[in-house]
């Protein structure tokens, strides 16, 4: 990957990349679980990648204190970025939190922190599978 200065990218650009980065981990996990039917894969993936699930994961990250100060800064860059679109079935607050979540993964990808991406994605998957995101669902 070409070296990009993450400081020059706005939160929406980071979120654009981060959305894809996180989704690859989710898709791989679902295939690893033996799922293969596209409609079932899509329905199940929503539990991990929806704006509501991602916002709940951000709340859990705060509760469990797993992000560094720099990671929180990039989350906030995405959360506070001016977006001209919004999710159809969620509040503006939830949408902004999920944008921040995705920006965090975008920042980690741009800075080539592969191990940290894997660590956070695995942590997120574990939280969803334990049902922790459902109780915090907004």
Residue pLDDT, tens place only, 25-82: 999 989 998 988 988 898 889 889 999 999 999 999 999 999 999 999 999 999 999 8
Work out the pLDDT band at 84, boundaries 50, 70, 90.
Answer: confident
Domain positions in the chain: 6-135
Catalytic residue numbers, as ranges: 19
Q: Is the pLDDT of residue 96 over 70?
A: yes
Nearest Cα to 12, choosing from 71, 66, 84? 84
Nearest Cα to 100, choosing from 134, 51, 63? 51
Q: Is the pLDDT of residue 138 over 80?
A: no
pTM of the model: 0.88
Q: How far is Cα 83 from Cα 87, in angstroms, rounded to an integer?
A: 11
97-123 burial code (b ≥16 CB/10 A, e <16): bbbbbbbbbbbbbbbeeeebbeebbee
- What is the mean pLDDT of the segment spanning 94-104? 96
CATH of 6-135, one of 3.10.20.30, 2.60.40.10, 1.10.1520.10, 1.10.10.10: 1.10.1520.10
Cβ of 28: how many Cβ atoms within 10 Å?
Answer: 12
């Amino acid at each position: 990957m070409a070296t990009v200065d993450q400081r020059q990218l706005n939160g929406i650009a980071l979120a654009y990349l981060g959305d894809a980065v996180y989704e690859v981990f989710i898709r791989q996990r679902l295939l690893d679980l033996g799922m293969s039917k596209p409609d079932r894969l899509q329905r199940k993936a929503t539990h991990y990648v929806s704006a509501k699930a991602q916002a709940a994961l951000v709340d859990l990250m705060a509760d469990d204190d797993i992000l560094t100060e720099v990671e929180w800064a990039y989350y906030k860059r995405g959360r506070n970025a001016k977006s001209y679109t919004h999710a159809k079935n969620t509040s503006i607050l939830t949408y902004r939190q999920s944008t921040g979540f995705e920006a965090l993964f975008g920042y980690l990808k741009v800075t080539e922190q592969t191990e940290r991406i894997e660590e956070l994605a695995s942590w997120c998957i574990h939280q969803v599978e334990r049902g922790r995101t459902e109780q915090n669902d907004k």
